[in-house]
Amino acid sequence: MCWSATADLVAGGAVAAVGAACVARTRRPRDLPLAALPLLLGAHQLIEAAVWRGSGGSGPATLAWAVIALPLLPLWVPLGVLCAAPRRARRRLAAPLAAGAATAAVLAYCLATRPVTAEVRGHTLGYAVDLPHPRLLVAGYLLATVGALLLSGDRRLVRLGVLVAGGAALCAALWRYEFLSTWCAFAAVCSVVLLGWAGRPSPEEPRAAGP
């Protein structure tokens, strides 16, 4: 989330461009789901620009934003990490993937059966949907997203997991006080980290011989 429609358009376009670069730099097909994550985040912000222009409400843009934020991300992230992870780390990623699948299923059901609305709150947009056991859902969401990165067995993705955990806490605190949404900047930083990760040498590639 950004603080205006214009900010969302600019940030969303920039993050999507980084996502396109991530996909282009990816050397292994199994890295593509995670490398494409910035494309999804960029689209998410572009959709939110439409929510801003509609002053919130419960239209198609609000629902599309919620579908990406709620059921899609907690499933996409652990699946992407599982695909990209080294074999030694895949068994321990079963827990984040299971948590993501369960959380996504509950959230998808809620979106299919209950209304979701958005309203302008100071310099942020607030989204509301009636969720059962919200604390349990938040725990499952964080285990699926942050937990998968921390258990990935890849140092760059572990650092990204630490960044995501800290950034999520900061975004939540600022949103609570309706001061300023930092999600667009946070998504941009995470996308740049993934750009570096996508361009790393593949472990299967032989190192160039010295002179």
CA neighbor of 167 nearest in space, from 152, 145, 151, 148? 145
Which residues 6+ apart lie within 8 Å of 209 measured at CB? Answer: none
Quote the mean pLDDT of the chain: 87
Indicate the residue type of 92.
R
Place of tokens 């209304």: 115
Q: Encoding tokens for residue 157? A: 């993705």
Within 10 A of 105 (CB to CB), how many other CB atoms are there? 13
pLDDT (average), residues 122-134:
87
Percent of the chain with pLDDT over 90: 68
**Where is pLDDT greater, at 169 or 191?**
191
Which pairs count as long-range contacts for 184-188, CB under 8 Å and 24+ apart, including other chains?
184/1, 184/2, 184/7, 184/8, 184/11, 184/12, 184/15, 184/45, 185/11, 187/11, 187/15, 187/38, 187/41, 187/42, 187/44, 187/45, 188/11, 188/14, 188/15, 188/18
Q: Does 118 have pLDDT greater than 60?
A: yes
pLDDT of residue 4: 84
pLDDT of residue 182: 56
pLDDT of residue 209: 43
Assigned CATH for 5-198: 1.20.1070
**Where is pLDDT greater, at 22 or 125?**
22
Q: Does 126 have pLDDT greater than 80?
A: yes
Q: How far is CA 116 from CA 33, 51, 57, 78, 109, in A?
A: 28, 12, 9, 25, 12
Indicate the residue type of 114.
R
Predicted confidence band of residue 178 (pLDDT cuts 50, 70, 90): very low
